[in-house]
Amino acid sequence: MKPTLFEVGGLEVTSYGASKALAALVVWYLVARELKRHGRDPGLAYSLTLAGFLGGFLGAKLYYLAEQGGELSAHDLGGMGFTWFGGLVGGAVAVLLVARRQSIPGSLIAGIAAAPLAVAYGIGRLGCLLAGDGTYGISSDLPWAMSFPDGTVPTTDQVHPTPLYEAIGAFVVAAVLWRLRTRLAPTILFTVFAVLMGASRFLVEFIRLNEEVLLSLSQPQLWSLVLMGVGLLVAIRSQGVGWTLVRPQSVPRH
């Protein structure tokens, strides 16, 4: 593991921070491509991406701090310690506000953001893996089990590399969404994202170290069910345009 990639003038460049910067750049590029494909100004990708990441970081940090309650540490208040579901909510609110100001329908931006969000999540999880930030799983004797003796949250036990599992799952979901983006209406593309990403996180939690809070499920599992439910609700409400394929002439190609 390599929590610190290199130093520049005494400033540490961490693998965790670098992964988030790379994720932002990839999202910016993909969103710009999709805006152009839908006949929108690709230059809006900058403000949408910036809003998403700032809102996402704020939401992720606030939710994480709320989870810790009275057990906060310098580690929690620093550059580590975020929750993906808090980030998803915070980022979504910020993006929808910017989209509204730019007269972009929320349903369209949800579909445009689906595949880029999955890619960003995968890149972020690779950063978690390199940082050894404590998001690993339970002990394992499988051949690919890892230890994180030099991680930000170190362990010498052989454990499931769950950030790697999540990254692989996210990249698979992103590939599916990217392939379907010209065939499905944006709202249904978001539904596919919500259901697949929610299911992926729900399943990996069975080998994560998070505490069970209700019905033998962890808090991330409960939020995963909420995410899947929101996706299905969106599909039901948009059934008039939902499961039909997008007509070839309805989406300009570039």
Exposed/middle/buried for 10, CB within 10 Å: 0-12, 13-18, 19+?
Answer: exposed
Cα R_g (the chain), whole angstroms: 19
Q: What pLDDT sits at residue 98? A: 94
Domain ranges of the chain: 4-183
Tens of pLDDT, residue by residue over 145-184, are 999 998 888 999 999 999 999 999 999 999 999 999 999 9
pTM score: 0.84
- pLDDT at residue 31 is higher than 70: yes
* pLDDT at site 165: 96
Asked if pLDDT for residue 112 goes beyond 70, the answer is yes
| CA–CA dist 31, 36 (Å, integer) | 9
Which pLDDT value is given to residue 169? 96
